[in-house]
Structure 1
Amino acid sequence: MSTRHPSRRDFHRTALAGLATLGTTGAGLLASPAARAAGYPERPLTFICPWPAGGTADITMRALCVAAAKPLGQTIVVENRAGASGMLGLRSMAQAAPDGYTIGQIPISVARFSQLGSLPLDPLKDLSYIARVSGQTFGIACQAGSPYKTLADVIAAAKAKPGRITYSSAGMGGATHVGMEEVAHAAGIELLHIPYKGGALALQALLAGEVDLLIDSSSWAPHVLAGKLRLLATLGERRTQDFKDTPTVKEQGLNVVVDAPNGIGAPKGVDPAVLARLRAAFKLAAASPEFTAACDKIDAPLMYLDGPDYAQYVAQTVQKEKLLIERLKLKELMAKG
């Protein structure tokens, strides 16, 4: 699912040019759609974050909402509704009134859960797409005192004792769980998955010694830097800016890449003028100092796409997930719990 993305400098330049156009012509996306939508927004918006407070997604989404509130002229209140690997909050958002006052993060794993039968929602028909904003840096970590110095050590140990090495993730069937199962499948090993209700709790499980490994977006980063955890591998196409000495899974001989970009959406049926205003506001927010600083802090790449392009990306991901579900036998895996 990797694509070539514009540099941060180019993206900032484009966004600032767009802002200047909006300010000088009065006919840009922030003005004309507002008139057609009868003054929207007239009150604060609710943003549903489908992950617990304090996790990497929560931190970046809050920064994004602070930035988007400025061009919208209204506060955006973030509500955390965690559970079911992000699908609980997504379903709540999808069922809200399509008036533009309830929006939220769309985990890309919706493309998987909708096909596994665990989510009564069609991502191609039941959602409105506003923007794709950023990627995630996933990594596999262990405690600093662990006997595992490399990913190869984990693989060797797992072959010696199948199903006994444990790892925590942000939930059953989510990007981290499936990413680790892809790694295990490619390596020919069996690991024992211990799902938690979000990445923050999965991290705490590793820090407390409840599991042997953690796979998560970069919640592990400050603890690796502090010497409490050891980063064994990252799952991107290339090494991360902040952890250049850590090889990717792909570099270590396993053809697995996971980025799971974060996107923003709304219920299906939002007035096109309202949706256009949201798209314009979140385009500016995705290039804002608040959001880019939050992404830099967790080494997350900017991966902006406007709503229509984001919807097309989701449609392509649905097809890729269909093949992944069959290859990893995910329906059987989910049935085992």
Structure 2
Amino acid sequence: MKNTLATLPSRRTLLLGGAAMAASTLLPRAARAAGFPNRPITFICPWAVGGTADQSMRVLCQAAGKVLDQTIVVENRAGASGMIGAKAIATAKPDGYTIGQIPISVTRFAQLNMLAADPRTDFTYIARTSGQTFGIVVKANSRFKTLADMVAYAKDHPGIVSYGHAGVGGATHVGMEQFALAAGIKLNAIAYKGGAPALQDLLGGQIDMLADSSSWAPQVESGNLRLLATWGEQRPPRFRDSPTLKDLGYDVVVDAPNGVGAPKGLDPAVDKVLRDAFRQAVASDDFRKITDTIDAPIMYLDGPDYQRYVSQVYDQETRLIARLGLKALLQQG
């Protein structure tokens, strides 16, 4: 008994010493997080001012800023289908003071050599936020009353039916080509620098159809355009009378969810602070109101789940790039 009791202090000392060592490792991180953020955070939006993505991100940042009790300043760095902004995020200092919106298209453009970063390893993912409502629209006086009308005509006239999209390799182009492949038709794809000029050309009669996010919504509601189909899993609340591609028998879903991320190497404690803030921001009434306004379904995922989702999409994009021959299309301009 004497020998056993004599050993207890040394064991306690050993255990306490180990706990002290662990605490000394964790405390600096906790201390840094405790003071974070102590100055404004820059949020890089990779899209132009005034667009639907810009609108939703500004509201999201305001809501997250309230949680953090700190200003989040939105900085627009548009261009190259969102890749200029994505690159700026990837190369920023990983201190939590530069974060931004990461479009899921990074998984495609990185493989097309349009982003000098690996989306699987060069970002810290904070939250997936919301998707987009894409659709195929025609003028109200178009010969195509339904998507079936268009498909039937396109089968008889391969390569004649034209559609506008917002850039080769982007969600609207790739989604439309996925649909065309599933439908067994050949369309004439016309690339624009954005959805707005494509919409104007559709209204002016220069193209037959437009594939875009909900920029067309006001024109559909006013009766100037007809919505043939949307591309999500479910019909958007504002357009419940319009079928999805899945409703019409095509196994194609495109919602291109966006998310918030930071450079790789972010301190885990700072990461947790940001993840908590943006989780609450996504759940806020203000963010839900803006997403309802722009038909952007909430698609929240916490950072680790978002990271896994990105890796899954990266593998899917590898196969899609090969199937659609996207590298050759980009070379053709």
Measured in 1, the distance between the counterparts of 2:187 and 2:300 equals 34
Measured in 2, the distance between the counterparts of 1:206 and 1:88 equals 28
Match of 2:277 in 1: 281
Aligned residues: 306
Residue 315 (structure 2) pairs with residue 322 (structure 1): no
Deviates more, 1:178-187 or 1:37-46: 37-46
Q: CA deviation at 1:245?
A: 0.9
Structure 1 pair 92/207, CA: closer, same or farther in 2 (3 Å)?
farther
Residue 293 (structure 2) pairs with residue 297 (structure 1): yes
Alignment of 1:193-272 (within 5 A): 193-272=189-268
Q: Is the Cα–Cα contact under 8 Å of residues 55 and 200 in structure 1 kept in the other structure?
A: no
Measured in 1, the distance between the counterparts of 2:126 and 2:198 equals 29
Structure 1 pair 53/34, CA: closer, same or farther in 2 (3 Å)?
farther
Q: Is the Cα–Cα contact under 8 Å of residues 160 and 188 in structure 2 kept in the other structure?
A: yes
Match of 1:158 in 2: 154
Q: Is the Cα–Cα contact under 8 Å of residues 102 and 261 in structure 2 kept in the other structure?
A: yes
Structure 1 pair 219/275, CA: closer, same or farther in 2 (3 Å)?
same
Alignment of 1:80-229 (within 5 A): 80-229=76-225
Residue deviations 1:254-311 (CA, integer Å, cap 9, x gap): 2211111111101112222211111111000000111100111122221111101100
Q: Is the Cα–Cα contact under 8 Å of residues 33 and 270 in structure 2 kept in the other structure?
A: yes
Residue 85 (structure 2) pairs with residue 69 (structure 1): no
Q: Is the Cα–Cα contact under 8 Å of residues 83 and 114 in structure 2 kept in the other structure?
A: no
SS at 1:211's partner residue? coil
Gaps of 5+ in 1: 1-31
Q: CA deviation at 1:33?
A: 7.1
The letter of the residue matching 1:88 is I
Measured in 2, the distance between the counterparts of 1:229 and 1:217 equals 14
Larger radius of gyration: 2
Structure 1 pair 262/145, CA: closer, same or farther in 2 (3 Å)?
same
**Aligned-pair RMSD on alpha carbons?**
1.9
Normalised to the residue count of structure 1, the TM-score between the two structures is 0.85
From 33, 37, 46, the equivalent of 1:50 is 46
Structure 1 pair 201/284, CA: closer, same or farther in 2 (3 Å)?
farther
Measured in 1, the distance between the counterparts of 2:205 and 2:39 equals 46
The letter of the residue matching 2:122 is D
SS at 1:70's partner residue? helix
What's the % identity of the aligned pairs? 64
Residue 332 (structure 2) pairs with residue 336 (structure 1): yes
SS at 1:242's partner residue? helix
Measured in 2, the distance between the counterparts of 1:143 and 1:160 equals 21
Q: Is the Cα–Cα contact under 8 Å of residues 33 and 273 in structure 2 kept in the other structure?
A: no
The letter of the residue matching 2:315 is Q
Normalised to the residue count of structure 2, the TM-score between the two structures is 0.86
Residue deviations 1:97-126 (CA, integer Å, cap 9, x gap): 222111111111111111222222101111
Measured in 2, the distance between the counterparts of 1:198 and 1:43 equals 35
Measured in 2, the distance between the counterparts of 1:167 and 1:152 equals 16
Match of 1:18 in 2: none
